[in-house]
Amino acid sequence: MIDSFYILIMELRHLRYFIAVAEELHFGRAAARLHMAQPPLSQQIRALEDELGARLLERSSRSVRLTPAGAAYLAEARGVLSRVEAAGRAARRIHLGEEGEITVGYMNPVMDAVLCRALASLRLARPGVAPLLRELPTPAQLDELRAGRLDVAFIRLMREAAGPRGQDLRGLEIRLVAREPYVLALPEGHPLAALDVVPLRSVAAQPLILFPRAAMPTLHDAMLTALRQGGATPRIAQEAPGKHASLALVAAGFGVCLVPASARDWPRRGVTLRPVSPGLPVVEMAAAWREGELASAARALVDFAADALSEDPARPAPGDAV
């Protein structure tokens, strides 16, 4: 049984043969144009007419001309080949990452740190690519990635000396895209804001605004452990689900909070940011994708996200009032 794909190729070849003859109105010139001998071309045209049950060309020893059926078939044949060629170009552009959609998972801290700039670079470099964005916590991103509902995920890495903790990264490829320190967010005019670098032990006397442990237990525990090791006894006064809510509470005078240094890119009225010493665990953010399944457009986005990453651990920069 002849494969249907083979039949399609044969039919498209017949269309190209017929169009060449119809445009040249001469079998010899059409054969030369198609880089083939004239007799096989004549045979293919007859086979096409037999299949259609219609005479497409009037032939004589001196001329070739289109019949009315041939003229109608020519218009349709040109349209079919044009659409097939357009489909091929579209497929090639998508394969090369020049067009198409990519579904991107992200956490808000990654968006602030690198992804917002990476998306801007992608839009300029590949305007035909449409990223579909989904904001999800890291565990949900990993689930969606494995289920095939995300092309790439931008996640927070949880590490100990032995490697990632609390994250199942089996079957995934990972590329680090950002590494940044935590800084202390203080109400504007707070006495500690007069310091260039705030001693971590000074946080002990301050009411602390922290995210709920249930949201990110590993990070929550690591942060409290670092505070205790720095000589502080944490006093949690408020819980807030995200960075923006925490900064709003700081601005309102409810306490202080620790946020990634990229918060400097999004100034909050009434809040001052300062580095702390000794430093807290550095925030590591990474792109993740299924092994061997990163499409070209998604790879370009990952490359843009990782462009600014330094190989050296991030160090706190002097904080300014924001």
Q: What is the model's pLDDT at position 124?
A: 92
The full DSSP string for 106-161 is E-HHHIIIIIHHHHHHHHHH-TEEEEEEEE--HHHHHHHHHTTS-SEEEEEE-EET
Q: What is the model's pLDDT at position 311?
A: 41
Helix (H, G, I), strand (E, B) or coil at 170: coil
Q: pLDDT tens digit string along 8-30?
A: 444 788 888 888 888 888 888 98
CA distances from 295 to 15, 20, 103, 287 (A): 34, 38, 11, 13
Q: Strand 99-106 and strand 152-157: pairing? A: parallel
Domain boundaries, the chain: 4-95, 99-179+284-306, 182-281
Using CA atoms of 96, 97, 99, 100 in order, give the dihedral in degrees to the nearest 10: 120
The fold adopted by the segment(s) 4-95 is Arc Repressor Mutant, subunit A (1.10.10)
Q: What is the model's pLDDT at position 98?
A: 64
Two structure tokens written together for 136:
């999800």
Lowest mean pLDDT segment, chosen from 171-180, 250-259, 275-284: 275-284
Share of the chain above pLDDT 90, in %: 31
- The residues, ordered by sequence, that sit 6+ positions from 265 with a Cβ below 8 Å of its Cβ are 112
Q: What is the model's pLDDT at position 318?
A: 34
The yes-or-no verdict on residue 264 having pLDDT over 70 is yes
In terms of Cβ atoms closer than 10 Å to its own Cβ (0-12, 13-18, 19+), residue 38 is middle
Domain 99-179+284-306 falls under CATH 3.40.190.10: yes
Confidence of residue 60 (pLDDT cuts 50, 70, 90): confident
Confidence of residue 314 (pLDDT cuts 50, 70, 90): very low
Distance between alpha carbon 304 and the CA centroid of its chain, in Å?
10
Q: How far apart are CA 258 and CA 260, in angstroms?
A: 7
- Other CB atoms within 10 A of residue 289 CB: 20
The yes-or-no verdict on residue 1 having pLDDT over 60 is no
Query: Is 99-179+284-306's fold the same as 182-281's?
Result: yes
Q: pLDDT tens digit string along 181-238?
A: 889 999 999 999 999 999 988 887 789 999 888 877 877 888 888 888 877 778 888 9
DSSP state of 291: T
Q: How far apart are CA 170 and CA 290, in angstroms?
A: 9
CATH superfamily, region 182-281: Periplasmic binding protein-like II (3.40.190.10)
- Other CB atoms within 10 A of residue 191 CB: 8
Q: pLDDT tens digit string along 76-127?
A: 888 888 888 777 677 776 666 666 889 999 988 888 889 999 999 999 999 9
Confidence of residue 141 (pLDDT cuts 50, 70, 90): very high
Q: Are 319 and 183 in contact (CB under 8 A)?
A: yes
Phi, psi of 107, rounded to the nearest 5 degrees: -105, 150
Q: How far apart are CA 261 and CA 263, in angstroms?
A: 5
Q: What is the model's pLDDT at position 3?
A: 47
With residues binned 3-state (H G I as helix, E B as strand, rest as coil), the percentages for the chain, rounded to 5, are: 45, 25, 30
- The residues, ordered by sequence, that sit 6+ positions from 220 with a Cβ below 8 Å of its Cβ are 210, 211, 212, 213
Q: Are 225 and 247 in contact (CB under 8 A)?
A: no
Residue written as token pair 């700081």 = 250
Q: Are 155 and 305 in contact (CB under 8 A)?
A: no
